[in-house]
Structure formats: C-alpha cells, structure tokens
Chain A
Amino acid sequence: MDVSFWNREIETADRSSLEALQIQRLKEVVSYALKTSFYQKRLSKVGIGSPEDIKSLNDLKKIPFSVKDDLRQNYPKGMLAVDMEKVVRVHSSSGTTGIPTVIYYTREDVGRWTDLLSRGIIATGATAKDIFQNMMSYGLFTGGLGMHYGAERVGMTVIPVGGGNTQRQLQIMRDFRTTVLHITPSYLLHIHQCMPEYNIKPRDLFLKKAYLGAEPYSEPTRLKLQELYGIDIYNSYGLSEMNGPGVAFECVYKNDLHVWEDGYIVEIINPTTGEILPDGEKGEVVLTNLIRHALPLIRYRTRDLAFIHTEPCPCGRTHRRISRILGRTDDMLIINGVNVFPSQIEEVLMSIPEVGTNYMIHLATREGLDRLTVKVELYQKLFTGDLSQLDSLKGRIKDKLRASITINAHIELHEPGFLPAFEGKGKRVVDERQKL
C-alpha cells in the first residue's frame, strides 16, 4: 500500500525522540499554564513552580486531572494564559449547563493545529489534487474551520459548504467533482437515502474518500457506507478542548486512529479510580495538549472511552493508535454531531413557567438522522384554556432549546402526571436510535 507522509521524520520518530519532544513541549505548555492562577495553584501543590520542575514524563502523572467543569468555572477568560491581543481565534463548545467552554488560540497555536490536520489528511492518501467538500458546520464549532485550514495547507481545493441543505450538497459534489468529504456518519447515511429524490446515484459522483467524525459509529456502519458510496472512509477524532479535529486520524490502513503524540500526550485511565491503565485496556481517554499556549490544558479528562493498540501499524508511523470511541463516562448525548448534555435541556425547560417539573428526552432515527423529542408536562395552574397558548408555548420551548443546544427539537406537551415519573436525570433519556 502507498504510504505518504506530511512530516516523515516526526511521524516515524522512535519512542525516545518522540518522548524528548513531548517533554520539551510539555515544559513550554507548563510555562504558559503557570501564568494562569488556576494552574499556578494546581501545579504548585504538586511541587511544580517552574517548567524546569518537569524532568521526565513521570512528572506529568503528579499533576491532577483537569475537567470540563474547570473550564466552566473559569469562564470566560480565567484559563487564558496569553494577552487577548495574542489571541487570533476563539472556539466554543456547549457546557453541561448554560455556561459554554471557550477555547483560545494564538496564531502559532492555530498553525500547529492546522499542521496536524494536514498530517491526517495526507496519511489517508489524499493530495493537493483533491477537491475537498467540508460538510461540518463552521462557526464556534471546531469541526468546520479546523479541517478547512488543514485541507488548505495541504493545497486541496476546499469547498466550505458547512452542514445541511442536502440538495445543494449533492449538486456541489456533482458539479465540482468533489473527491473528499468531511461529514458526520449520520449525515452521510442520510444523504444516501435522499439521493433517489434528487435523481443522483453514487456512481454519478467522483467521490474517493470521506473523513467521518463528531459522532461515534461502528465498523459495520463504516463498511456499509464504503459499499454504498464505493469510497474509503477514515475515522477522525478530536474535541474542542484539544483544539478540535485532528487529535487522532486513521491512515490508509484504516486500522484505528494514530494519536499525534508530538501534539498530545494520551493516557487511558480507569474512570472511577483515576489509575493509569496499560495499553490495550479500555478506559477514559486523558489528553494533554502540547501545542496550544493560549489556553493550556494538562491531563484533561475527555469522558470518551477507548483503548490504545499495542501492535505497531504497518504504515510505519510510530504514533500509537487509539480505538474508535467506544462510549462515554458521562451522560453526554451526541445528536446529529452536536454534543448535548441532558442538564442543558433541563435548564431550558425549568426556565419556562408553564412547564411542569417532569420531562423526558426521547431520541429516535428518522431518515438516517437523529430526531430529538422533548416531552414536557404542562404546569396545571398556568393553563388558560387556549389552544393558541399551547402552540406558542411549544414554539417558545423550541426556540429556547435551539438557542441553547442549536438543535431543532420536536416538542410534545403532556397532561400533568402522564409522563412516567423518573428517578435521577439519566433515566429521563430514552434513546431508541438505530446504532450506527
């Protein structure tokens, strides 16, 4: 198989050179982290007062984990380690409640992130000759812009369509002879189901590859999509806290994802005890971002479950591979590629006086896409008797949810006492989606 490299030296570096690079970059990150009061407190507690206190990678293990809540507590700028003047980009992802998590990047941070994305693209065998249709949303979400920059740096022809509008997507694919897609697995499936409607067949298109991310999906789904479209599909992994996409990418062997270890230190821990697990064992992915200075994150608990492969990859890259994401340690839902916590939905519902205290979150698959239905009970005392009141209430719930989680939910009103009574918020979620 043809194996191409973006940076052969680093991608095939032996473990000791890779670790030397990790230590050097970790020191840099620690020096920035020490500029924030958050990390200053946290690092001084474990005897790290200067970057020189990092002697080996073992010193990393002394540092306590960071979590999403740390970012929220320090919203909006508490963890910013550089002057705002140095920041060229802001991204944000949903928090577990109304407070989002914000990520800042300096020009150099964006450059290093972009480089890893280019590396991933080249690892799949794509080249500057490819026509790249980016179907992830642009904006605060990292998926769109992140990959866009990486593809441009490779020299691909980038079509920044963003998500949605299937008819236009298909038209662009056909007219511009798109060869590579960046898309969520559920949307790729949905588009295939829509093709007959627009009288387009996969063989009318020029597609060769697709990069799938933002949602977990299974190997049988990859195989099915590859067959439906006649293309190669590569998994991509990332999260905004670790810059965005490009933390790990599959190479031409499509045998799970190389974590770019010069950019990220990956650990797998037991999510309950915090103990570090050996390669091969499934646990929570903990990542240290080695390439971002504006907002350092050290030993960040991703809540994603995966394992690290012990076998080397035939492509010759020395960067270890992680499995696809096998689940979550928290109750985060991924709805059409968007991360949603049930607590965000609850917060919106409880801010509306006409809504009672009982509610239910229901997920189903419709035409290949996720459909979110939020079922609420009407608050008895505020029923006026008008149907128009109920219509406008539904509209208001829908609008407020869209503003908070960016998803169009289907709203159902129910008579008080008619939804099942739940104990604990986790049980309020009924997920009947077909597993991808």
Chain B
Amino acid sequence: MKITQISVFLENRKGRLYEVCSMLGAAGINIRALTIAETETFGVLRIIVDKPDKALELFHKNNVTANRTEVVAVEVEDRPGGLANILKSLSEQDVNVEYMYGFIEKFTEKALLVFRFDDPEKAGKVLASCGINVVTSKDIQAL
C-alpha cells in the first residue's frame, strides 16, 4: 500500500531545480507528482516517480542529497468535496496527516493525492475501510 516518495534536499538557488529535474529527464524517469517545501536557503523537493530505485541511484551518483520516504497515495473523484471526505474519515479515526499534496491525472476523472501520515499502517486501514482506492507502486508505473 505504501509507495516510495523521493525527498531531495535542494539549495535555494536559481537553476538548481532545473538541474535535478533534467537529470531525471535524461535518465528517462518520469515525475508523477511533485511538491516543494521551501525555506530561506534550501528547499525539499518531494517527488513520486515511476522508477524510484533508479532515481535514487542516479541522485547518489550525482551527489544530490536525497532519501526515500514512505507515503500513501490515493485516488479520489475529481469533484467538490472529494478530499474533504477522505480527511473526514482520517480525522474521525485520529490519523494525523504530516503533509500532503495532489495532482490531477490526465485521462481520468480522478485526482491523485499523496499523504505522509504519522501512522501509515493505521491510515491504510482507515482508507481501505472507507472504500478509497489506495494506489500501489505498480499503478504509479502504469500512470
């Protein structure tokens, strides 16, 4: 149920995000979802890619500071209230979301949401019990 997110520690400097993304592009690795948390001097880029192991290897070879984080991705209907419904169930079951981000799939009516939970096991169960479609690594590759 859990999928791999890659977190990249990036210098907050012009062109650095481009450099890292072009590394992935040149290696044929596709970014499925992305978010950036930024501070004054650095940012943390969080990405879901189709080939996470290959991406990590690439980063380490190129001296890019990166590590893997386990996250949960779910599919929700791309309509008003879609996210709120999920958050309601999680909140009722006392599951805490550390951070989350989302994006819209191209060819379906669904949105993909990526969650980092403090307790991913419990979160998975809550989501499953609500009949929410939890995305697997295979799904990510196929997107």
Contact = CB atoms under 8 A, between A and B. Distances in A.
A273 interface: no
Interface stretch (A86-94, A203-211, A276-284, A410-418): A410-418
A422 interface: no
B41 A378 contact: no
Contact of A378 (B6, B9, B69): B9
A413 B66 contact: no
Given A383-B9, A387-B44, A390-B44, A416 B65 contact: yes
Contacts of B13: 418
Contact of A415 (B5, B7, B10, B40): B10
Nearest to A417: B63
A383 B67 contact: yes
Contacts of B42: 378, 390, 413-415
Nearest to B116: A386
Main SS class of interface, B = strand
Contacts of A165: none
A387 B37 CA distance: 8
A207 to B, nearest CB: 39
Contacts of A375: 41
A417 B13 CA distance: 13
Nearest to A410: B40
B66 A412 contact: no
Interface string A385-421: 1110010000000000000000000001111111000
A413 B39 CA distance: 10
A415 B69 contact: no
B65 A380 contact: yes
A384 B67 contact: yes
Given A415-B10, A418-B11, A385 B63 contact: no
A375 B67 CA distance: 22
Contacts of A412: 40-41
Contacts of A415: 9-11, 16, 42, 65
Given A378-B65, A414-B11, A385 B44 contact: yes
B63 A380 contact: yes
A385 B11 contact: no
A203 B63 CA distance: 61
A414 B44 contact: no
B32 interface: no
Residues of A in contact with B, size category: 10 to 19
Nearest to B41: A412
Contacts of B37: 387
A416 B13 CA distance: 13
B2 interface: no
Nearest to B63: A417
B51 interface: no
A412 B67 CA distance: 20
Contacts of B44: 385, 387, 390
Nearest to B37: A387
Nearest to B40: A412
A415 B42 CA distance: 7
A354 to B, nearest CB: 11
Interface string B1-34: 0000111011101001000000000000000000
B58 to A, nearest CB: 14
Contact of A413 (B6, B41, B69): B41
Contact of B69 (A385, A414, A416, A417): A385
B59 to A, nearest CB: 10
Contacts of B66: 383, 385
B26 to A, nearest CB: 20
A352 to B, nearest CB: 16
A387 B44 CA distance: 7
A385 B44 CA distance: 8
B68 interface: yes
B15 to A, nearest CB: 12
A384 B6 CA distance: 10
Contacts of A390: 9, 39, 42, 44
Contact of A386 (B16, B40, B69): B69
Interface string A363-387: 0000000000001001010011111
5 contacts: A383-B65, A383-B66, A385-B6, A415-B11, A415-B16
Given A387-B44, A390-B9, 15 more contacts: A378-B42, A380-B63, A380-B65, A383-B9, A384-B67, A385-B67, A385-B68, A386-B69, A413-B39, A413-B41, A415-B9, A415-B16, A415-B65, A416-B65, A418-B13
